[in-house]
Amino acid sequence: MYEKLETRTFLAMLVGVTLAFVLLMKPFFGPIFWAIAIALIFHPFQIFLVRRFGDRPNINALITLMVCMLIVVIPVLLLVTSLVSEGLGIYQQIQDGNIKPGEYIDQVSKSFPGIQTFLAQFDINFSEIRDRVVSLFVGGSQFLAKQALGIGQNTFQFFLGLALMMYLSFFLLRDGSKLIELMIRALPLGDERERLLFAKFAEVTRATVKGNLLIAIIQGALGGIIFWVLGISGALLWGVVMAIFSLLPAVGAALVWVPAAIYLAAVGDVVPAVVLTIFGVVVIGLADNLLRPIMVGRDTKLPDYIVLLSTLGGLAMFGINGFVMGPLVAALFMAFWGIFIREFSEGAQRVETTGDDVD
Question: What is the reported pLDDT for 40?
Answer: 83
Which amino acid does the sequence have at 7?
A: T
**Does the structure show a pLDDT above 80 at 26?**
yes
**Does the structure show a pLDDT above 50 at 358?**
no
pLDDT digits (tens, 9 = 90+) for 129-182: 777 777 777 666 666 666 666 655 566 777 788 889 889 989 888 887 788 777
Q: What pTM was estimated for this model as a whole?
A: 0.69
Question: What is the reported pLDDT for 354?
Answer: 59
**Residues near 199 by beta carbon (within 8 Å), at least 6 away in sequence:** none
Least trusted range by pLDDT, from 107-121, 199-213, 275-289: 107-121
Q: Which of 52, 70, 13, 43 is nearest to 174 (CA)?
A: 43
Write the DSSP assignment of 326-347 as a string of letters. Answer: HHHHHHHHHHHHHHHHHHHHHH
Do residues 328 and 205 touch, judged by C-beta distance below 8 A? yes
Q: Rounded CA gap, 34 and 245, in Å?
A: 21
pLDDT digits (tens, 9 = 90+) for 74-133: 887 777 777 777 767 777 776 676 666 667 677 777 776 666 676 666 666 667 777 777
Q: Rounded CA gap, 155 and 235, in Å?
A: 26
